[in-house]
Amino acid sequence: MSLDDHAEELASDLGVDKEEVKEKMATLLEYDVPVEEAKQNIRRTYGDDSPSGTETVPTKQLADVETTDGNVSTTVRVLSVGKRSIQYNDQEHVIFEGEIADETAKLSYTSWEDFDLEPGETVTIGNADIREWDGQPELNLGESTTIERADGTLEVPYEVGGDATLAELAPGDRGITVEVQVLEVERKIIDGRDGETEILSGVVGDDTMRLPFTDWEPRPELEPGNSVRIENVFVREFRGVPSVNVSEFSTAEGLPEPVAVQETAPRWSVRDAVESGGLFDVELVGSVVAIRDGSGLIERCPECGRVVQNGQCRSHGEVDGQDDLRTKAILDDGTGTVTVILDENLTAEVYGGDLADAREHARDAMDRGVVADAIRERVVGHEFRVRGSLSVDDFGANLEASEFEEHAVDPADRARELLAEAGE
């Protein structure tokens, strides 16, 4: 049913103006309130407390639930229960979300009420509202939903509980438990709902991979080197990669045994890496074919850190730029190209001198461009092994390097190549 149909039905039910109802409904839906919840809310404003609708709600198995379904009832096993707080109508609202399953399928759910759901229990959900989420149907449990605990246990071909490795995480996952080692942590001040708040941002790893994380409620357990079990996290996409979100409802507990961390990054071809849309920790091997403008001795805006051109920052106008070293190298492995960005330290390594050396070099030559020229001389035409974080956007693929070293070809391989060439 369209918004118009819902409004029409509700308005005639309540005997009030349709446009007025439609407007109220549109506002609620804008705040992501499920349709049934919104209708119920509007009924109350008009002083009608009778339960919504008179049509009977079909009972379905999860595999038969479609995004076009209005409401369904179903008996399921609760796989996971995540708790999260969101904001709508200027109010803090606690919601519950996770996965449910029966013999036929598993689906996500969001509960706008606290039904005290527990992972593992079997329940009959009466009158859940179906919404589309990421192309899939999702059950929304609201005020008009009923929950009945079943006596037996429904056997389902899915694991109960939200335990997952980092490699298994996908954006949208909720109510997840991970066991990880904290690798990097940075404290940040952000403009939150209630003014400035402190958050933690960093990197966690397990034996499958490393991923970025954010802790919205800084907790002492998340210190570099600590191995922790974190329950009830949710996963969001951050620059094309899954990011672990630790909320006020998550719990972190130190583990007695350290969690082993995958030391190397998986090696990808440039084409596959770019097509993936983003990889947090990846290794690429290719030749540097060029150095882009904006490499070498550059100037940054002291306010925002953006690169300053001709003394002008894009946001802050004329500023007194601060010197920095950076390299933007185009890496080509035959399947595609990416721009590898080297920070001050990695640039100093390939340049063979630090910021002070670069300044002196530029002063002597009376040309800042000599620093980029020296870097170009050293890297173009050479093969490198690069490790870092790849992000892809409309402007291309950028890899922020954490490691950049000349790729030493295995002498045995090289000998075989030469023999093969000679044999031709």
Number of shown-chain residues binding Zn ion (CB under 5 A): 7
Of residues 340-359, which lie at the interface with Zn ion (CB under 5 A)?
Answer: none
310 binds Zn ion (CB under 5 A): no
Identify which of 186, 263, 259 has the alpha carbon closest to the alpha carbon of residue 223. Answer: 186
The residues with which 78 forms a beta bridge, in sequence order, are 100
Q: Which of 180, 222, 221 is nearest to 201 (CA)?
A: 222
Nearer to Zn ion, 51 or 311 (CB): 311
- Report d(CA 276, CA 297) in Å as an integer: 33
Stretch that binds Zn ion, among 189-197, 230-238, 314-322, 405-413 (CB under 5 A): 314-322
Binding residues for Zn ion restricted to 282-301, rule: CB under 5 A: 301
Nearer to Zn ion by Cβ, of 65 and 319: the residue is 319
Tell me if 393 sits within 8 A of 335, measured CB to CB.
no
Sole binder of Zn ion in the list 4, 23, 66, 303 (CB under 5 A): 303
Mask: binding to Zn ion, 375-394, rule CB under 5 A, as x and -?
--------------------
* Cα-based distances in Å from 338 to 273, 277, 360: 9, 12, 31
Q: What angle do CA 199, 201, 203 make, to 5 degrees?
A: 155
Cα 155 from Cα 263, distance rounded (Å)? 39
Residue nearest to Zn ion (CB): 301
- When binding is defined by CB under 5 A, the residue of 5, 196, 315, 394 that contacts Zn ion is 315
Q: Residue 291 or residue 301: which is nearer to Zn ion going by CB?
A: 301
Q: Using CB under 5 A, pick the residue from 182, 298, 313, 372 that binds Zn ion.
A: 313
Of the residues 170, 304, 409, 418, which one makes contact with Zn ion according to CB under 5 A: 304
User: What residue has token string 């790729």?
Assistant: 407
Q: Whole-number minimum distance, CB 308 to Zn ion, in Å? A: 7
CB closer to Zn ion, 93 vs 306 = 306
- Part of the chain binding Zn ion (CB under 5 A), chosen from 115-123, 166-174, 276-284, 312-320: 312-320
How far apart are CB 344 and Zn ion at their closest, in Å?
18
Of 185 and 313, the one with the shorter C-beta distance to Zn ion is 313
Least separation, in Å, of the C-beta of 348 and Zn ion? Answer: 24
Q: How many helices (H) and strands (E) does the chain have?
A: 8, 20
Which C-beta is closer to Zn ion: that of 67 or that of 322? 322
Asked if 379 contacts 329 with a C-beta cutoff of 8 angstroms, the reply is yes
Nearer to Zn ion, 303 or 405 (CB): 303
Give the list of residues 6+ apart from residue 366 with CB closer than 8 angstroms, or none.
none
Helix (H, G, I), strand (E, B) or coil at 331: strand
Q: Name the region of 172 (left: φ>0; alpha: ψ -120 to 50; beta: rest).
A: left
Q: 192: helix, coil or strand?
A: strand
Of 187, 236, 292, 316, the residue at the interface with Zn ion (CB under 5 A) is: 316
Among the residue ranges 95-103, 222-230, 303-311, 329-337, the one whose residues contact Zn ion (CB under 5 A): 303-311
In the bound complex, what is the minimum distance in angstroms from residue 323's beta carbon to Zn ion?
Answer: 15
Q: Measure the CA–CA gap between 390 and 383, rounded to whole angstroms.
A: 19
Which pair of structure tokens corresponds to residue 424?
């031709």
Rounded-to-integer distance, Cα 340 and Cα 289, Å: 11
Residues in contact with Zn ion by the rule CB under 5 A = 301, 303-304, 306, 313, 315-316
